[in-house]
A and B are shown apart, each in its own frame.
Chain A
Amino acid sequence: DVKVTQSSRYLVKRTGEKVFLECVQDMDHENMFWYRQDPGLGLRLIYFSYDVKMKEKGDIPEGYSVSREKKERFSLILESASTNQTSMYLCASMDSYTREQFFGPGTRLTVL
């Protein structure tokens, strides 16, 4: 079974803090994604990575950066957290052959 794990289920941070969200997958997938989920908006793509050290912006990259130093790990970074970044963050990895995406359990981030 593919397993995608995220470092925290719930996180509370203060405005201006630097926040790291970690995602690890154990199936050697090349493609990994960070989505943000907000009510009424579905999931929106923040960034994705198709290989180590490779990344591309998604639809809403502003205020975020990412890091992919190892194939299994994809990190989302909020350089200076703001209240409008309070949301559910979902990481996914993709099987290149079937193109199915497997999701982590999500991190619910609250920025006060």
Chain B
Amino acid sequence: AQKITQTQPGMFVQEKEAVTLDCTYDTSDPSYGLFWYKQPSSGEMIFLIYQGSYDQQNATEGRYSLNFQKARKSANLVISASQLGDSAMYFCAMRENTGRRALTFGSGTRLQVQP
């Protein structure tokens, strides 16, 4: 069964606007972590933000915030005030803390920021 689902293959956003990238996950492990990575056209994976399953507050890192809705098993990434440099692939990933150490990734969303 697919554990991480990103239903938006591609998204467009105007510069300076906010955008939400969707991510839903499936796990029976009560302890897990959720990650978002950015992959520019150069190929490197850049860590953006992390949310632990027991964290009480939604994670924020600068212009990035994670809208964590545990009951709905969703972990959407919100990028505020989009910039042209935000154009990239974005991957949601999960690690189950009692399972294997590796990350399970979604299929990604390609974000294009338009001037």
Task: Name the interface size band of chain B.
Answer: 20 to 34
* A24 → B minimal CB distance (Å): 15
- Across chains A and B, the number of contacting residue pairs, with CB separation under 8 Å, is 56
Cβ-based interface call for B103 (8 A): yes
Check B100 for interface membership: any CB of A closer than 8 A: yes
How many Å lie between the Cα of A56 and that of B103 in the bound state?
Answer: 14
Known: A41-B107, A45-B102. 16 other contacts (CB 8 A): A9-B43, A31-B101, A33-B102, A42-B6, A42-B108, A44-B105, A50-B101, A58-B102, A100-B35, A100-B50, A101-B47, A102-B47, A104-B44, A105-B43, A105-B44, A106-B45
Going nearest first, the 4 A-B pairs with the smallest beta carbon separation are A103-B45, A42-B105, A43-B105, A106-B43
* Chain A: minimal CB distance from B20 (Å): 19
Q: A106–B39 Cα gap in the complex (Å)?
A: 11
Interface of A is mostly: strand
Q: Complex formed: what's the CA distance from A78 to B76 in Å?
A: 37
Closest chain-A Cβ to B33's Cβ sits at a distance in Å of: 6
Contact count band on A: 20 to 34
